[in-house]
Structures are given as C-alpha cells and as structure tokens.
Amino acid sequence: MTPPPADDTSGKSGRRTELLDIAATLFAERGLRATTVRDIADAAGILSGSLYHHFDSKESIVDEILRGFLDDLFGKYREIVASGLDSRATLEALVTTSYEAIDASHSAVAIYQDEVKHLVANERFGYLSELNTEFRELWMGVLEAGVKDGSFRSDIDVELAFRFLRDTAWVAVRWYRPGGSVTVDTVAKQYLSIVLDGLASPHH
C-alpha cells in the first residue's frame, strides 16, 4: 500500500470537522458567551493551545459552523426556487428542506436561532443580514406567486403568512430531536398538512 503524500491533510481536516461538531454542540447547549475555548478543548480532550492550531479564535469557530450550514441550506433553497415547480410544490420543498436542515444540522440551527440578533452587529457576520433578506425575498416570492396563480388563497396577508411560516417552522429546533421516535419526514408532512389544508375536517 502506498503511503499518503507528505502534504496529505485528510487527517487534519477530519479532526477539524470533529472539533467543529463538538463546539457546535456546546454552543447550542450553553450559548456562545457561556462557552469558552477551554470548554471546547476539554470536551475534545486536548489543550486549549492545541485548538488554536485549527482556529484563531472562538469567533472563527462560530463563523465556520454557521457558514457551512447556511451555504448548504441556501444552495438548496436557490435550486428549489429555480427548478420551475408550481407554487405549492415549491413551498412544500422549501419547508421540507428547512426541516431536513434542523435534523442534519441541529446544533447549527439552534445557534443561529439563539444568537443571530447579537451576531449581526458584528461586521464579520454581516452576511447573516444579507441571507435574512434573501430568505425573505425567496419565500415571499413563492407566496406572492401562489396567490397570483391561484395556488394559495387570495385573501391571505402574504406578509403575515411569511412571518408565520418563518417562525413556526424553525422553532421546531427547540423540541425536535434527531434520531428520536418522530422522524423529520413525519414532522414536515404534518406541518405542511396543517399549513396547507388546515386542522378542520372538510366534512364539518
């Protein structure tokens, strides 16, 4: 077997990912301010100084966690909106993708939900405001198109509908637990059924 080249970074990259996962879990559980670099190092079984071989600051760790999560999420959002689906199918896909993100990146979503208001004031995290604007434009665009083409009711307040969807979908990070008895697919389908078809029985 040929040994890996001297500049092989796969081991270092894997360790970096492991450290990011550990940090994300701690940040989600304790909050950014309450979690120190030493806490992360202790959880990883290394000295604090060793952590600085991978990241230059706690802020860098937070940045990398959020960028990775948001780049992936918004890449999927953009693909969905550009795919040419009808308005209802587009909204269903956006909601399902959001729930899948809560499942796959639970800690990152929790960090975002808890900390975004504080982070946007930091110049380094200016992209969060930009993505919030893009999120609004994407989702509002789908709702407006749906009202226009008859997929959604014409009497809805699109602004209120957007805020309802935004807040009620992402709050699931508070109670949904990956690997639990309820799958993310079930949660997404139930949510969409309630939002799109209502709670009331059509026979009453």
Answer whether residue 7 shows pLDDT above 50: no
Q: Average the pLDDT over each of 3-17, 83-97, 182-196 and give the range with the smallest value.
A: 3-17
Whether pTM > 0.85 for this model: the answer is yes
Residue 107, CB-side half-sphere exposure with 13 Å CA sphere? 17
Q: What is the dihedral of CA 105, 20, 22, 118, to 10 degrees?
A: -70
Res 4: pLDDT: 45
Distance in angstroms between the alpha carbons of the first and the last residue of the chain = 71
Res 2: pLDDT: 43
Answer whether residue 3 shows pLDDT above 50: no
Question: In this structure, what token pair is assigned to residue 184?
Answer: 């993310």
Q: What mean pLDDT is reported for the chain?
A: 91
Of 106, 98, 118, 65, the closest CA to residue 167 belongs to 98
